[in-house]
Amino acid sequence: MTERLPNIAVLGATGVVGREILNILEENDVKYNSIKFLASSRSAGSKIEFKNENYTVIETNDDVFDDIDICLASAGGETSKRYAPIAAKKNCVFIDNSSAFRMEKDVPLVIIGVNDEDLKSHKGIISNPNCSTSQLMLPLKVLNDKYKLKRLIVSTYQAVSGAGLKAINELTDNTKTNLVGMPYEPSAFKYEIAFNVIPQIDSFCENGYTKEEMKVTNETRKILHLSDDVKISCTAVRVPVYIGHSEAVSAEFENKISAHEARELLKSAWGVELRDEVSTYTYPTPKDAAGKNPVYVGRIRQSIAFDSDKGLDFFCVADNLRIGAALNTVRIAQKVIEMGLY
């Protein structure tokens, strides 16, 4: 058990997720011995205000990890591939937001509250799941524990912030130009995102699914320790929303389930908040979820697409920058500290 407080680094501190990590480190009052903010040469030397103090952003290189115990990284897959093994070799626990190591056998893929125990097997690198997978895990875990998942079909409606700062700015610029009838040439997306939806997130795989869709399939299986017999399919769609991913979920279970039972179970599920009363038009929307920590669940109903009362449909919404990225990253760091795993 480590007793001293850790030296922490935030890699990608100037990015969309990095900035949210700073907010949550402060909100959650994470205790540390020292903290450093890392980025590329582009932002090196710029200032970051954190807890009313000014810090200078440091350019990332191999040596910065010498005295770091825990690095919270959100600087893209290539940066993680370059630095995570170096950090791990220097006994720094590298908590990675990119997809670079998620499916590696020796790398735990963890949603706090779902599979915390997997952290114990880490060998220096811990992966944070994809944002669409992350928000699904908290409601699905309790349902799977009791009713045993058999089949899962997910359709996502994903906010532009999931694609970084450039995509956020593109939604604003694209909307402005559309409103005055000017043409717009998209660059963050393949098509215009303003007043549109785009059924492609990430590149296409040979099987016709996108990488984003296969991340939901493969990561869900790894986090919930599901066998290959559980069939999972996802369609991932980008929508013109700044913050908050939504998901329409259809699940079939081994055991009979009713909407009432599911509601009762989800009412007390950790990290989940029910917004489910159609008589008062109560259901979650991304605007409600932005800036908040829970995964909101509503529109729970017994699915009429599956036989024998074994299917459930629901809608879930969460802040993709929080539970989908920064919040779970900080929670992993807190758990690593609490469990003395650094």
Spatial contact of 271 and 248, defined as CB atoms under 8 Å apart: no
User: Could you say which residues in the range 302-331 bind ligand NAP, by CB under 6 A?
Assistant: 320-321, 324-325
**Pick 296 or 306: Cβ nearer ligand NAP:** 296
Nearest-angstrom CA–CA distance, 113 and 122? 17
Near ligand NAP by CB under 6 A: residue from 65, 72, 84, 97: 97
> Applying CB under 6 A, which part among 157-165, 193-201, 222-230, 258-266 lies near ligand NAP?
157-165
Near ligand NAP by CB under 6 A: residue from 37, 72, 98, 330: 98
Nearest-angstrom CA–CA distance, 42 and 130? 26
What b-and-e string marks burial along 307-329, b requiring 16 or more CB atoms within 10 Å of the CB? eeebbbbbbbbbbbbbbbbbbbb
Assign 3-class secondary structure to 52-120.
CEEEECEECCHHHHCCCCEEEECCCHHHHHHHHHHHHHCCCEEEECCCCCCCCCCCCECCCCCCHHHHH
Residues in contact with ligand NAP, shown as a per-residue x/- string from 23 to 52 under the rule CB under 6 A: ----------------xx-xx---------
Q: Is 17 in the site for ligand NAP (CB under 6 A)?
A: yes
Rounded alpha-carbon distances, angstroms, from residue 315 to 94, 170, 271, 275: 33, 27, 15, 10
Nearest approach in angstroms of CB 284 to ligand NAP is: 18
Q: Is 210 in the site for ligand NAP (CB under 6 A)?
A: no
Nearest approach in angstroms of CB 311 to ligand NAP is: 30
Residue 131 known to be catalytic: yes
If phi over 0 gives left and psi between -120 and 50 gives alpha, with beta otherwise, what is residue 272? beta
Residue 205 known to be catalytic: no
**Pick 15 or 124: Cβ nearer ligand NAP:** 15
Q: Is 72 in the site for ligand NAP (CB under 6 A)?
A: no
Q: Interface residues with ligand NAP (CB under 6 A)?
A: 12-18, 39-40, 42-43, 60, 74-77, 79, 97-98, 131, 161-162, 164-165, 320-321, 324-325
| Catalytically active residues, by annotation | 131, 245
